[in-house]
Copies of this chain bind each other. A is one copy, B any other.
Amino acid sequence: MTDFKDRLSAAQKEVNEVIEAFLPKEEGKARLIFEAMNYSVRNGGKRLRPLLMRESFRAFGGDKLTEKLLTEPFMAAIEMIHSYSLVHDDLPEMDNDMYRRGKLTTHAAYGQDIAVLAGDALLNYAYETIISACVSADTAEKRLAAVRAAEIISVKAGVYGMVGGQTVDVSKTGQRLDDSELEFIYELKTGALLEAALTVGAVLAGATDEKVAKIETASKRIGMAFQIKDDILDETSTDEILGKPVHSDAENNKTTYVTLHGIETAAKEADRLAAEAKMILDELGLCGDFLSGLFNYLVERQH
């Protein structure tokens, strides 16, 4: 486990360097927006999405040159999309959060107007980064893989993915959800981008359609397990360990997997889903891989 933790933190450091390399320079008349964008991305996050993308790409045998030309911009882009979603989620008209991981949220630091624009800017910049990679792909075949990967991200980030999940979440605030509504929100709001990360890695590495479909299924399972684990931590952790206020779900009257089914069932379900996900990795011959360790981490993490 210590070995894994060392490897994880080394990998996160590398991923951070990749992301940094794609952030815009803070200069010119519109300097403020670049500052707000970079502030939003440099939020101390775990970088799970770009990390999962990279490890999926490597597990499927992607080569170094393609990693540099295609996977790295896609890694930065998916983190920009994740960051924009947090910036807009934190707005007063949404969750109205002033702090995230102990730092002022973007609207608290830059004002609500600039936070709206910084989110817009990050979402658009993610596509600038992705599309620029599609243009510079060095063969027609790689360009096709890149536009297919871009298509996956764009669908999973939008109304048939993250934004759709967020819409149902926002419009049902304060109401008790049933199982199918909760599942919809979990699958889309959080799951979709994790799914995109793993699937894009496979597509960019040139995995067959069959293998891409398998990793997609695995990512659905592990994404759901990840979200259930979040609910469990909100109930069982402390503010210090979690880095944000615990029991916030109960206080906000939020329906979660834990409020619907209790801690014990939730923990069992998370384990079951994670085991299914890892069995698929097994079938793909990726069981001893770092990716499998990451899957464990997603459900065993303490914050």
Bound together, the chains give a CA A94 to CA B128 distance in angstroms of 25
**Does A22 touch B at the CB level, under 8 Å?**
no
> Which B residues are in CB contact (< 8 Å) with A32?
167, 171
Contact residues of A with B, CB < 8 Å? Answer: 24, 28-30, 32-34, 37, 84, 88, 91, 93-94, 111-114, 116-117, 119-121, 123-125, 127-128, 131-132, 134-135, 140, 143-144, 147-148, 150-151, 154-155, 157-159, 163-168, 170-171, 181, 184, 188
- Chain B proximity of A29: nearest CB distance (Å): 5
Can you list 19 pairs linking A and B with CB atoms under 8 Å apart?
A: A30-B168, A30-B188, A33-B164, A33-B167, A93-B112, A94-B113, A116-B116, A117-B163, A119-B120, A121-B158, A121-B163, A124-B154, A124-B158, A124-B159, A125-B158, A125-B159, A131-B151, A134-B134, A135-B144
Is B123 touching A30 in the complex (CB atoms < 8 A)?
A: no
Integer count of this chain's copies in the complex: 2
Bound together, the chains give a CA A249 to CA B239 distance in angstroms of 49
Bound together, the chains give a CA A113 to CA B132 distance in angstroms of 31
Q: Which B residue sits closest to A120, measured CB to CB?
A: B163
- Chain B proximity of A77: nearest CB distance (Å): 11
Query: Which one of B30, B93, B131, B159 contacts A167 once the chains associate, using CB atoms below 8 Å?
Result: B30
Bound together, the chains give a CA A220 to CA B4 distance in angstroms of 55
